[in-house]
Structure 1
Amino acid sequence: MRAETSDKAEIVTQMLFGECYEVVAKDGNWMRVQLATDGYQGWIDHKQHNPVSVAYYQEWRAVQHPRAMDLVQVVTHNDTRIPIGIGSYLPFFDGMNIRVEADKMMYSSRASNPSAAATNAQLVKVAHNFIKAPYLWGGKSIFGIDCSGFTQQVFGVCGYQLPRDAYQQVSHGEEVHFVTQAQPGDLAYFSNDEGRIIHVGIVLEGQTIIHAHGEVRIDTLDHNGIYNADRKRYSHNLRIIKRITF
């Protein structure tokens, strides 16, 4: 999904397999769409448009769908194999098949259980699956992801829908007042010199943090911020830590 009606325009976010959206505007061969999951808007080429009925869209929005748990897997429809990545939606998954409109597609790998409350240990385990995923502005897949796309996907797989951007995500959860009181699974937010939230990551044990910065990586976290041992300097200034209860 792009900021403007051009293949050269900035990527603002991405859609994952199985995700639904509404078309809110059209401009030539481009459609402005709004994601049903987080309300984010952007432009897609009409060749990427896969329409569904209003009835299916409303049915899709009424339930919480399982998510793919493996880094890369496929769904099979007749003789077609469709590659999907971790965090992809599995609409109306029955343990063997997903359903898009009347079409059934086979999925035979691991899926999340949206009806079960996730633990911090499970959340941290999901986060580790993304290590070494390359950084991509606007990305939210294993093949390219930004800092808030990373946290959104990890929490989404665990059954909690965060907004898309870090400055939006910071409104969720309860404040943890000291970094020494942070627990694995807490969200740490970082600001620029003007005080604007520009970065987010997930706290791990031993005052470390996993975040997307060049790649999804683990660095040291203290009351000043994130310390990058490779570069021997702080890369981000800590603003606040929040805890989300599932």
Structure 2
Amino acid sequence: MLFGICNLSIVPLRALESDSSEMRSQLLFGEHFEIIEKQKNWSKIRLAFDHFEGYIDNKQYLEISAVFYKALCKEIPTYSGEILDFVTNQKNELTTIAMGAQLPFFMKGKLQLENYEYGYESAIFHGIFPKNEILKTAFTYLNTPFLWGGKSPFGIDAAGFTQIVYKLCGYALLRNVKEQSKQGEVLSFIEESEPGDLAFFDDEFGEIVHVGIILNDYNIIHAHGKVRIDTLDHSGIFNTDLQKHTHQLRVIKKII
């Protein structure tokens, strides 16, 4: 088995081995993975964090040893805490990174990508945060444009938004909406929910297609056109700009 790590800021994870293929998700700097199949130009990978699979360009990652990969899987991760920042390598070259980038073996301003050392001097997320921090982290992404497959402050989808917010606070959600909807404890009514719980929404065929984070006072923050705040009621999401319901409530889940 081969292993790799993302050494660039944001790399597309595609459905097929082509630049024109659908972007299913993204890798942020420092994310590590198994290489399931390596071809001439593309590799099929499985992310360590959520086991999500897809194809990435062979020019857009760094191969690492099994020893380094296993050590990464055991550490309590550290993530960058600034919307946009950079890491510096030993040649003083800069690599931009987005919020949520992983900083492997971060200590005293230094991090390691196996044989490569980088410096980083800004805010971090590390460890498990109380539930109220989920809301503070979510607000950081306000007005981020919607991007199918995105999970950065420069473009994000609904499940990418909930996953990265929970991830920065120390909790693991799976990558897509249907998978996330199977996690946690079902709540029967909105009144039972707390700020930080997740609300899921379905389409006319009963398929769960959307998710958001419940706020105080029957509000919800979610990625729809952009990361925005709307009203949540027993029917679903009431869009305050359009003055109509845009999503039909299916289930509320308590994750933590």
| TM-score, structure 1 as length reference | 0.96
Q: Is the 8 A contact 1:189 1:200 kept in 2?
A: yes
The residue identity in structure 1 corresponding to 2:69 is Y
1:119 corresponds, among 130, 143, 149, to 130
Give percent identity, aligned residues only.
41
- Equivalent positions of 1:36-115 (< 5 A) are 36-78=48-90, 79-114=92-127
Secondary structure in structure 2 of the residue aligned to 1:160: coil
Work out the number of aligned pairs and report it. Answer: 243
Alignment RMSD:
1.1
Offset from partner CA, 1:133-157 (integer Å, 9 cap, x none): 1111011111110000000000000
Please say if 1:147 is aligned against 2:181: no
The 1-side partners of 2:124 and 2:230 are apart by 29
The Cα of 1:215 is off from its aligned counterpart by: 0.6
Structure 1 segments of 4+ aligned residues over 3 angstroms from their partners:
none
Q: Is the 8 A contact 1:5 1:27 kept in 2?
A: no
Secondary structure in structure 2 of the residue aligned to 1:67: strand
Secondary structure in structure 2 of the residue aligned to 1:126: helix
More strand by share: 2
| Cross-structure match for 1:225 | 236
The Cα of 1:102 is off from its aligned counterpart by: 2.8
Q: Which runs of 5+ in 1 are unaligned?
A: none
The 2-side partners of 1:235 and 1:118 are apart by 32
- Equivalent positions of 1:128-139 (< 5 A) are 128-139=139-150
| Cross-structure match for 1:241 | 252
| TM-score, structure 2 as length reference | 0.92
2:177 corresponds, among 152, 166, 173, to 166
Secondary structure in structure 2 of the residue aligned to 1:125: helix
1:26 corresponds, among 27, 31, 38, to 38
The 2-side partners of 1:207 and 1:11 are apart by 33
- Equivalent positions of 1:168-187 (< 5 A) are 168-187=179-198
